[in-house]
Structure 1
Amino acid sequence: MPDQRLQSRLYQDDLSYYAALPIDWSRLNGKTIAISGATGMIGTFLIDVLMRRNAETDFQCDVIAIGRSAERIRARFPYADDGHFHAVQMDVSVPGACPDMPADIVVHLASTTHPRAYATEPVATITSNVIGLKNLLDYVCRSDAAHRGDGIDFVFASSVEVYGQNRGDTERFDERYCGYIDANTLRAGYPEAKRLGESLCQAYREQYGVRPVMPRIARTYGPTLHTDDSKALSQFMHRGLAGEDIILKSEGAQRYSYAYVGDTVSGLLYCMVQGKVGEAYNIADSGSDCRLRDLAALVAECCGVKVRFELPDEVEAKGYSKATLALMDGGKLAGLGWKAKYSIRQGIERTLRAMRGI
């Protein structure tokens, strides 16, 4: 992520806001939290929030940042001299992989999360969510966290995609809904792996006493997105900031739930601190529901460019979701006190400004 984003006043203000959320931070004080996918869009924001909490309050939380590249971790995070920050180079999908340091809470965020990768790295898409998850569940067991206290000790970042395609019998997915997924397709690897991952969490809960929670994440965006992210909204913003027209590779009638990365991270924290063991929670707010073509138009308006329509190439088409209506019901998480800070327009405008270094 370019330095101008890290230095952006808007980004820094967001870190302070989310580090002061009205949750019971005492449940995390003095704990060691291991986070896989540390350099991903959500992982980087979560780590920055925890480290900001350490810096601005009397908060003593150790963070273990797990990623495939120690060099990338060091380049991303300015905490090399901070005793609360620990970088661990590890590919979680390698069978038996496990950090040396024990952790009280493990947050599994490592996952392939964009269409081109689903098509070009289909095996890693599955293994990071199954083998990687098993490794980290074993890790929390070996850390003895599974045998202490009664709070959440494992957070598995699930996805809206576990719901599959809307069967036409609901407008919004609540946590009990189960839609259709054609398992005999390449694209099914991601949602099926997330479904199996949730089941694996429940199995470890029953057999080994792990205390998991499964936040189901909406389509997330924000200033921590990567330049190689092939999700439609990410590409809209990269092109718009470069002064290029937005390319829409469908009619844009798809209607999805979106979330600003800070609101996704706050949802994770609410699940971690106030969620119920074994439960799934949608991280979504109706103020960020949007049709894809309206999203393209919004980015184009903010960047002063136009929207053009093109057919996707063969690789892109393989990675696209078939779901055309995937709106999430966030009422269960709202019942814990969570609420989104930004609507879709506010979040997009803020992201684009932060990416410009404002």
Structure 2
Amino acid sequence: MIDNLKYKQDVAAAAGCDLPWEKLNGKSFLITGASGLIGSFLTDVLMYRNINNGMNCHVIAMGRSVEKAKAVFGEYMDMDTFSFVSHDINLPLDSYEGKVDFLLHLASNTHPVAYSTDPIGTIASNIIGLKNLLDFAAEHGTERFAFASSNEIYGENRGDTELFDEEYCGYIDCNTLRAGYPESKRCGEALCQAYRRAKDMDVVIPRLTRSYGATMLKSDTKAISQFIKKGIAGEDIVLKSEGNQYYSYTYAPDAVTGLLTVILKGVDGEAYNIADEKSDIRLKDLAALIAGFSGAKVVFELPDKTEQLGYSKATKARLDSKKIKALGWQPAYTIETGIERTLQILTDK
């Protein structure tokens, strides 16, 4: 991926954003879930700054698979400013004794089939894994801790607003299998606030929305990821509902610059939506957009039982972005340009 011209352009553009990068000079930055959609792009951006701007930030990528890490981060493995740590975050982080100035917890199940087939793991990473990382950060004097939360904490739109701001709290039926993801994210946010008070920690909470990009995992079953994979393969794009769901989406480079904005400029204890109205779209229109770029057609198909268990019940989930934009963040891509670049990178055009 890193050799793809358009991907390199996206990395360079994100690395060139107007941010207080000097805060990372000589610091260490641990990222859990580093080989995922967002984590891998973030790692590439930080390493770009190290290589091209002399930032000298020690990037510590954490994940469970050494083989996967070598495939994703092979070119960095022998660099002094990069380390990979193989660890299951649901176990205490006793084996790593190095300095960590910034810690971003990104590791989590983030797609429907995983919610239904690994419900315990989904909850555990957002509560048990988070607690282990908070304990580590508290014991090692971490400068700032960031917990990547989700638009799903807002639940179902009650019809009283068009956009969810950071104070909104919608309905979630907690007594369901599917509630494991949003409720564990809600609990995770509360756990962060508890540690702030009890351990005098500095914590920020970026709330990501439905994200996509060329670094998506092959196992990702989110609707947008399935649409993209079908479009690339030249197959019919399968819509498993009427497609009236109205959601916010974020291209991975914008998600990463949003994360960095919150981490480097956000206020301790605050949550920030990372989203933009130019990337809000109905599911059926998203399917048609990808089909138009790829020359495929859209067909309708009923989901199987496993898929149904993992699907969100929310029909409208659009996020208000005024708070993060007040920090100076501006997205560089619309849903159209983000989708087009994703398809171009993945087909190497």
Range into which the TM-score falls when normalised by the shorter chain: over 0.9
Q: In structure 2, what is the Cα distance between the partners aligned to 1:181 and 1:235?
A: 25
Q: In structure 1, what is the Cα distance between the partners aligned to 2:227 and 2:335?
A: 14
Q: In structure 2, what is the Cα distance between the partners aligned to 1:196 and 1:101?
A: 28
Normalised to the residue count of structure 1, the TM-score between the two structures is 0.96
Match of 1:86 in 2: 83
Q: Is it true that 1:272 corresponds to 2:263 in the alignment? A: yes
Q: In structure 2, what is the Cα distance between the partners aligned to 1:247 and 1:232?
A: 9
Q: In structure 1, what is the Cα distance between the partners aligned to 2:316 and 2:94?
A: 38
Match of 1:109 in 2: 106
Q: In structure 2, what is the Cα distance between the partners aligned to 1:260 and 1:145?
A: 29
Structure 1: give runs of 5+ residues left out of the alignment: 147-152
Q: For residue 209 of structure 1, report the CA deviation from its aligned partner.
A: 1.2
Normalised to the residue count of structure 2, the TM-score between the two structures is 0.98
Contact 2:158–2:171, Cα closer than 8 Å, also in 1? yes
Q: Is it true that 1:41 corresponds to 2:41 in the alignment? A: no
Q: For residue 81 of structure 1, report the CA deviation from its aligned partner.
A: 1.4
1:304-352 per-residue CA deviation (whole Å, 9 max, x = no partner) reads 0100000000000000000000000000000000010000000000000
Q: In structure 2, what is the Cα distance between the partners aligned to 1:329 and 1:280?
A: 12
Q: In structure 1, what is the Cα distance between the partners aligned to 2:284 and 2:266?
A: 35
Letter in 2 for 1:185: T
Contact 2:234–2:295, Cα closer than 8 Å, also in 1? yes
Contact 2:26–2:58, Cα closer than 8 Å, also in 1? yes
Q: Is it true that 1:141 corresponds to 2:138 in the alignment? A: yes
Match of 2:283 in 1: 292
Q: In structure 2, what is the Cα distance between the partners aligned to 1:97 and 1:327?
A: 40
Letter in 2 for 1:215: P
Contact 2:33–2:107, Cα closer than 8 Å, also in 1? yes
Match of 1:174 in 2: 165
Question: What do you get for the CA RMSD once the two structures are aligned?
Answer: 1.0
Q: In structure 2, what is the Cα distance between the partners aligned to 1:340 and 1:96?
A: 35
Contact 2:93–2:136, Cα closer than 8 Å, also in 1? no
Length, aligned pairs only: 348
Letter in 2 for 1:224: T
Q: In structure 2, what is the Cα distance between the partners aligned to 1:355 and 1:56?
A: 25
1:148-202 per-residue CA deviation (whole Å, 9 max, x = no partner) reads xxxxx10100000000000110000000000000000000000000000000100
Partner of residue 184 from structure 1, selected from 159, 162, 175: 175
Identity %: 53
Letter in 2 for 1:303: S
Q: In structure 1, what is the Cα distance between the partners aligned to 2:263 and 2:96?
A: 21
Runs of 4+ in 1 over 6 A off after TM superposition: none
Q: For residue 255 of structure 1, report the CA deviation from its aligned partner.
A: 0.2
Q: In structure 1, what is the Cα distance between the partners aligned to 2:173 and 2:21?
A: 42
Q: For residue 58 of structure 1, report the CA deviation from its aligned partner.
A: 2.3
Q: Is it true that 1:8 corresponds to 2:13 in the alignment? A: no
Match of 1:149 in 2: none
1:29-58 per-residue CA deviation (whole Å, 9 max, x = no partner) reads 111000000111000000000000111112
Structure 2: give runs of 5+ residues left out of the alignment: none
Letter in 1 for 2:281: C
Q: For residue 6 of structure 1, report the CA deviation from its aligned partner.
A: 2.7
